[in-house]
Amino acid sequence: MRNHKEVNTTAHELISITCDICGTTYDDILSIQEFLKINNTGGYSSHFGDGIHYECDICEKCVKGLFGKYMRTERVD
């Protein structure tokens, strides 16, 4: 048998994201869904440093501008 108790918690709702490249803030769900989030920890001999955590939020426009010519695209139906 599982016994439970009621617990009050605080939840955090995402209301906007600001692009770390261009500084534009987006508050609509369609734009937010298209952000690229880099979230990693540097390993041995990393350019960022061994064990250093780094992250970045990049909007779709900046992703296309920075990486577009290197990306392979395919329509998924």
Predicted confidence at residue 49, as pLDDT, reads 87
Q: Say whether pLDDT at 22 is over 90.
A: yes
Computed over its alpha carbons, how large is the radius of gyration of the chain? 18
Predicted confidence at residue 48, as pLDDT, reads 86
Per-residue pLDDT band for 3 (boundaries 50, 70, 90) equals confident
Structure confidence by residue, pLDDT tens digits, 24-69? 999 999 999 999 999 999 999 988 889 999 999 999 999 999 999 9
Tokens encoding 30: 């369609």
Output DSSP code: residue 77.
-
Tell the burial category of 19 from Cβ atoms under 10 Å away from its Cβ (0-12, 13-18, 19+): buried
Structural domain boundaries in the chain: 17-67
Q: How far apart are CA 51 and CA 41, in angstroms?
A: 6
